[in-house]
Amino acid sequence: MREVEVRGAHGPETLSMLEAAMRSLTVKAAKGDVPAQKAVLALSRAVDAEETAERERQYEFWKDYKARKWEEIRQYHLAGQPEPQILPHPDDVVIDQHTGEIIIRGPANAQQKEEWDRLWAGKEAQEEELLKYRSSFSACLKMPGRNASACRTTSRKRSSS
């Protein structure tokens, strides 16, 4: 689409013809031009209707997706086969019933799954390290004459070795 240069609040701006026309229309509407106000309201309603329709399409798509994938998983279980890797997993697709918002709380594709698995493995290693540190710290505190400050230093040295 062709672009034009218009005068903006902070100097010249480059806009598409459509953006420039919309800006001009909204300025006219703001200044009280009744036909421009009607046009802006009609456009606003059209945009709202399209956004609502898109949310409804997304809601239906993900609702159907979850039902299909749960049925697929059920069929694998009935056949005694292991569950296939489904991305996103239907458990990870959360549909807010009030707003229609779709939230995917897990990996949505193979690349994200690899990263997800790598991060979870790192988390498990960190938790193991933390348990070792806590165990060492607790054992140190039970020793006569030891306080928390001395044990923190001792535990860090042991856990890093």
Locate 161 and state its tokens: 């070795």
Whole-prediction pTM: 0.65
State the total domains in the chain.
1
Determine, yes or no, domain membership for 10.
no
Q: State pLDDT tens for residues 6-50.
A: 988 899 999 999 999 999 999 999 999 999 999 999 999 999 999
Q: State pLDDT tens for residues 126-160.
A: 988 888 888 888 888 888 888 888 777 655 555 55
Determine, yes or no, domain membership for 141.
yes
Q: Structural domain of residue 133, as residue ranges? A: 119-161
